Structure 1
Amino acid sequence: MRIPFFKKKAKKQRYTIAFYNLENLFDPERNKNTLDRDYTPTGIKKWTVERYQRKLAKLSKTITRIGEEKHPYPPVLIGVAEAENNSVLQALVDTDPMEDLDYGFIHFDSPDERGIDTGLIYRKKFFKVLHSEPLALMVNNAGGIRDTTRDILYVKGELNKELVHIFVNHWPSRRDGDVETEYKRVIAAEEIIQNIESIKLQELDPNIIVMGDFNDDPSSKSIQVLKEGASLFNAMETLHIPDSRGTSVYGGKWNMFDQVLISNSFLNYEKNTHSFDTAGIFDHKSLKEKKGKYKGTPYRTFVSHRYMGGYSDHFPVYTVFTFNS
């Protein structure tokens, strides 16, 4: 029986936005300007063309599946960390199955000594880039010398013709101690807050997405400063269970360093706008160690210098939005 037109329900238009730390996506070529010698065929990790192509194939397949348990279509936006250069991101989007989906990307070389940067991958069909730039993160080490860390990638664009502002992050690491380096990540939070305040001088209620590997958990000081200072909603906050769930593992505990925070404008319903629907960690069984003491943790490409052949030492995270047509 035909359903009367006035009783038909409009099909929901839903879109996935994700973030993924790619774990040292280097090409095998030596770059004299960065510390990438380990990731060459003659380096300690024996990073060959074959290993590189195998990693690209694994990452490409994973990216197109992020969030499939909540929404079956590939993400329209993917923030990434630990990409060496334009070359590796071009190779990634040219690898099946991403190649068929017409992905583009944005990347700038940062001052990071190892040459690992942030980037934004986007489906050209749904997202139009209006402006992009790297935001330098000016932090010093304890001795007063600048920490040449990753820039923050800022992108302004239209998602299904709705204006959005995106910040992709990979904040300073905890290598020298989480407490000792906390101030660096707080400075990163304050840098983003300052940029959002500038946007708010131009727009009444801007749509903001801040994603990245923050090297801090949702409860950490830096994330709380960011959340409160920029009036953001942390879609990842309730997903972190230190004893059993997160995006990476260190010292036997789960961290939730990978997060997506959004402005409150996405929590409202208005025609021709996007509304936040749900969030998740994409920890599919294919991305996990299958046995041994690390069973259930991310299936890594390397453990120290030992080649494991996995995907990444982080699980991706994602948010799903509904477009209110």
Structure 2
Amino acid sequence: MKNIILSLILVFFVSLGFAQEEKQYKVATIAFYNVENLFDTINDPEIYINHEFSPESDKRWNTEKYFSKMDRMGGVIKQIGADVTGSAPAIIGVSEIENITVLEDLVAAEPLKEYGYQIVHFDGPDHRGVDCGFLYRPEYFEVTNTAMYHVTKADDPDYATRDQLLVSGLFDGEEMHFIVLHWPSRRGGEKRSSPLREAAADTTRYIVDSILALNPNAKIICMGDLNDDPINPSVKKHLNTTGKKEDAKDGILFNPMYNIYKKGIGSLAYRDKWNLFDQIIMSPGFLDKESDGYIHYKTFVFNKPFLMQKEGKFKGYPFRTYVGDTYMGGYSYHFPVYIFVVKEK
């Protein structure tokens, strides 16, 4: 496996609680990115209720814009965590992608093609056709199992939202599980729509519990656009998370985004308020400093200045591809989020 080895400085040892002596570590980046409506240009009304993204639509979405966005998104992904690892992420969960074709074009884009990313994707039931996807570098990760889980609504058998993607495999020979999520939006209002996200959280929790029942020490990462903040009931209560490492035990998941949120840092902005909907949450197995395997080191929002709107009333907001039907030529209305995992060499 091609790992970047760091000779870590004193601050690193102190934060991990190790002795103050020189050690070497393998370090890898795991990231999530809502890539904002990554659609192809083909209008297929037999599949989706409404396709806004075609040359004939008000957005005038065309081949030139499509491949320009692929290059821009690939350029963003390539930089996530690279200041530490010197390379692109080992694992990337993505949301708001239309189909496997757009993922194939994304990983084939100039900024990413050298990394040979492989893809896990299933077509889901969402009426707009947006799905989740999983990208991985095969020198880091070997897939052993994949599954999709439907979110159901007891009083509405026709309810359809994004499926939840489970990918299990060996990360540098160590078993890990990744759940990629895009919970229901706040359309209709936060309070009115909250039961939908709570139902989605219950589904995620079911997946987590199913894995932990087989291995209480399993290493599980839940990552996605949850459309709720770390303090909301869907995340805190239904998914059963905590922002304190010492409380992450007996199935309670650790949410490192909690303290980031408390500092006022977000991954998207709406009406001059920052939200941290994009989250990476993990099982207690990633917190065991005595573990021979990978453990969590740090968590960040990738909010570099080039990803921000430079002027106007939305200055400082994420620089997006579209505002309504107006083409901005940016990236996404979400910032990516990412973690570093480390393992002593």
TM range (shorter): over 0.9
Cα displacement (A) at 1:299: 0.3
Q: Are the counterparts in 1 of residues 292 and 344 from structure 2 also a CA contact under 8 Å? A: yes
* 3-state SS, counterpart of residue 15 of structure 1: strand
Q: CA–CA distance in 2 between the matches of 1:183 and 1:224?
A: 14
2:81 matched to which residue of 1?
Answer: 67
1:317 matched to which residue of 2?
Answer: 337
Cα displacement (A) at 1:180: 0.7
Query: Given residue 119 of structure 1, which amino acid in structure 2 is its aligned partner?
Result: G
Q: Are the counterparts in 2 of residues 162 and 272 from structure 1 also a CA contact under 8 Å? A: no
1:91 and 2:105 correspond: yes
Matches within 5 A, 1:215-234: 215-225=227-237, 226-228=239-241, 230-234=251-255
* 3-state SS, counterpart of residue 294 of structure 2: strand
State which of 169, 173, 177 in structure 2 corresponds to 1:165: 177
Query: Given residue 124 of structure 1, which amino acid in structure 2 is its aligned partner?
Result: P
1:259 and 2:272 correspond: no
Q: CA–CA distance in 2 between the matches of 1:109 and 1:150?
A: 9
Measured against aligned partners, the alpha-carbon deviations of 1:231-264 in whole angstroms (never above 9, x if no partner) come to: 110011111258x530001121001000000111
| Cα gap change, 1:69 to 1:139, in 2 (>3 Å) | farther
Measured against aligned partners, the alpha-carbon deviations of 1:209-249 in whole angstroms (never above 9, x if no partner) come to: 0000000000000000213494110011111258x530001
* 3-state SS, counterpart of residue 12 of structure 1: strand
Q: CA–CA distance in 2 between the matches of 1:144 and 1:199?
A: 28
Q: Which consecutive residues of structure 1, in runs of 5 or more, have no partner in the other structure?
A: 1-7
Higher alpha-carbon deviation: 223-232 or 129-138: 223-232
Query: Given residue 234 of structure 1, which amino acid in structure 2 is its aligned partner?
Result: N
Q: CA–CA distance in 2 between the matches of 1:42 and 1:252?
A: 33
Query: Given residue 129 of structure 2, which amino acid in structure 1 is its aligned partner?
Result: G
Query: Given residue 27 of structure 1, which amino acid in structure 2 is its aligned partner?
Result: D
Q: Are the counterparts in 2 of residues 17 and 77 from structure 1 also a CA contact under 8 Å? A: yes
Matches within 5 A, 1:77-156: 77-139=91-153, 144=156, 146-156=158-168
Q: CA RMSD in A?
A: 1.8
1:28 matched to which residue of 2?
Answer: 41
Q: CA–CA distance in 2 between the matches of 1:204 and 1:182?
A: 30
1:238 matched to which residue of 2?
Answer: 259
Cα displacement (A) at 1:203: 1.4
- Kindly report structure 1 stretches of 4+ aligned residues shifted beyond 6 Å: none
Cα displacement (A) at 1:192: 1.7
Q: CA–CA distance in 2 between the matches of 1:84 and 1:144?
A: 25
| Cα gap change, 1:271 to 1:205, in 2 (>3 Å) | closer
Q: CA–CA distance in 2 between the matches of 1:271 and 1:151?
A: 32
Q: Are the counterparts in 1 of residues 320 and 330 from structure 2 also a CA contact under 8 Å? A: yes
Q: Are the counterparts in 2 of residues 41 and 48 from structure 1 also a CA contact under 8 Å? A: yes
1:275 and 2:295 correspond: yes
1:208 and 2:228 correspond: no
Query: Given residue 199 of structure 1, which amino acid in structure 2 is its aligned partner?
Result: I
Q: CA–CA distance in 2 between the matches of 1:267 and 1:69?
A: 23
| Cα gap change, 1:36 to 1:157, in 2 (>3 Å) | farther
* 3-state SS, counterpart of residue 240 of structure 1: helix
Query: Given residue 125 of structure 1, which amino acid in structure 2 is its aligned partner?
Result: E
Q: CA–CA distance in 1 between the matches of 2:216 and 2:270?
A: 41
Q: Are the counterparts in 2 of residues 241 and 254 from structure 1 also a CA contact under 8 Å? A: no
Cα displacement (A) at 1:191: 1.3
Identity, in percent, stands at: 37
State which of 173, 187, 208 in structure 2 corresponds to 1:175: 187
Q: Are the counterparts in 2 of residues 232 and 264 from structure 1 also a CA contact under 8 Å? A: yes
Q: CA–CA distance in 1 between the matches of 2:283 and 2:215?
A: 13
Q: CA–CA distance in 2 between the matches of 1:77 and 1:197?
A: 23
Q: CA–CA distance in 2 between the matches of 1:310 and 1:175?
A: 24
Query: Given residue 16 of structure 1, which amino acid in structure 2 is its aligned partner?
Result: T
Measured against aligned partners, the alpha-carbon deviations of 1:103-127 in whole angstroms (never above 9, x if no partner) come to: 0111101100010000111011100
Aligned residues: 316
1:4 matched to which residue of 2?
Answer: none
Give TM-score scaled by structure 2 length: 0.88
Q: CA–CA distance in 2 between the matches of 1:223 and 1:33?
A: 32
Higher alpha-carbon deviation: 185-194 or 76-85: 185-194
Higher alpha-carbon deviation: 131-140 or 22-31: 131-140
Query: Given residue 306 of structure 1, which amino acid in structure 2 is its aligned partner?
Result: T
